[in-house]
Amino acid sequence: MRSPRLEALRAALEKAEFRLAATQDLARVGDWELDRHTGRMHWSRELFRLFERPEALGVPDLNEALGYFSLDSTNRTRDLFWEAIDTGRRCALEQEVLLPSGEERRHFTVIVPVADETGRVFRLYGTVQDITERRRLESERLEHLERLEELSRHLVEIEERERRELASALHDRASPNLAALRILFSSLAEALPESARSELAPLLEDASALLADTTAGIREICTNLRPATLDYSGLLPALREYVAQFRARTGLDVRIDAESGSAPPALSRAAQTLCFRLVQEALTNCAKHARAGSVRIELGADTGTGGILLQIGDDGVGFDLSRLGEAGSTPGLGLITMRERVELAGGDFRLYTRPGDGTVIEVHLPAEPHPVETTR
């Protein structure tokens, strides 16, 4: 008769084996063992399913097992087998599997060496997981990200084109009409009798000032939308034009420091547009939130990477960087948008600030950034 203790142990073992098999089936994970002395292998039932091998064929030897892999995976698996044996360390690799049905799968295998008391590896143990579905999902995710980046670049391109067209329409139609109107108004004022001119002098002065203010306002709007200087003269002249208007409007002391008085030769048209928008957004944030007295803009070559370095720093109140992006925090969305546009162009955006210590924006752009806008 079998003892109750032995029967209980046997039942517990069978239950553990059942649970292990069920777990491997759910996780699509199989395991194997290789005895170095005999060369014999042991496969779990799930491993037979992963390789579409009928259990009636029995466990393959090592060379037959390697025949399931692509040539490259076979070579890498052999190398890792010996690495595990020589070093006694656990190794892992991803393998391309060619199944008997003709389907291609991807497996992730972990090789664990088992050593005796002398440190000699006498057995290898391994687990195999089917990661085909995970790889497919990761590939789809990367494709979606690429599409999203392409869509973002296209939206930036459309935005710049619309800005350019609107600025051009204002400049080409409104500005000449206002100039002609001012000449016409001046001629009409001179044609008035002296008595009427003296009587209407306050109204004439107000109308003339209104015309001048409207002309200046349209010029400022065109510069904010997209200055023609940026397309025809380049980044630095456009920045100087914008900074002059910004300084007159806000009273902030803004200085531009560029190497040799010109932009680096690697600065593409797309990068010039990006740098202009970054400066524009940074100065807008500074005027709204920083309570600064001065701002310094530096543009030059990035000696570390051979690309472009743009720095915008102010002596304002700064802010808690850990709260960036939180609801109600200032500044917020503008800085996040700046970071996204820089990263979209393949650059690096860095922000240095703390309460009471001003803010510095540092942008590193590659010499030939990804195109984020085109000029017609």
Q: For residue 156, with 0-12 CB atoms within 10 Å meaning exposed, 13-18 middle and 19 or more buried, which class applies?
A: buried
- Give me the phi and psi of 169, to 5 degrees please: -65, -40
Looking at residue 261, its pLDDT comes to: 45
pLDDT in tens, 195-248: 777 788 788 788 888 888 888 788 778 777 788 888 888 888 889 988 998 998
**Distance (Å, rounded) from C-alpha 107 to C-alpha 95?**
5
Condensed to tens digits (0 to 9), the pLDDT of residues 69-102 reads: 999 999 999 999 999 999 999 999 999 999 999 9
* Percent over 70 (pLDDT), the chain: 86
Looking at residue 93, its pLDDT comes to: 93
CA distances from 106 to 7, 54, 110, 373 (A): 41, 20, 13, 39
> Tell me, what amino acid is at 5?
R
- Quote the pLDDT of residue 28: 65
Residue 250 has pLDDT above 50, yes or no: yes
Q: Is the pLDDT of residue 317 over 70?
A: yes
Pick the CATH number of 230-376 from 3.30.565.60, 3.30.70.141, 3.30.565.10, 3.30.200.20: 3.30.565.10
pLDDT of residue 14: 57
Identify the weakest region by mean pLDDT among 113-117, 156-160, 273-277.
Answer: 156-160
Q: Is 53's pLDDT higher than 90? A: yes
Q: Is pLDDT above 50 for 263?
A: no
On the question of pLDDT at 363 being above 70, the answer is yes
What pTM was estimated for this model as a whole? 0.58
pLDDT over 90 for what percent of the chain?
Answer: 30
| pLDDT at position 376 over 50 | no
Sign, Cα dihedral of 160, 161, 166, 168:
positive
Please state which of the four CATH numbers 3.30.450.20, 3.90.79.10, 3.90.950.20, 3.40.50.150 is assigned to the domain occupying 16-130.
3.30.450.20
Handedness of CA 108, 114, 115, 117 (dihedral sign): positive
Burial class (CB in 10 A: 0-12, 13-18, 19+), 237: middle
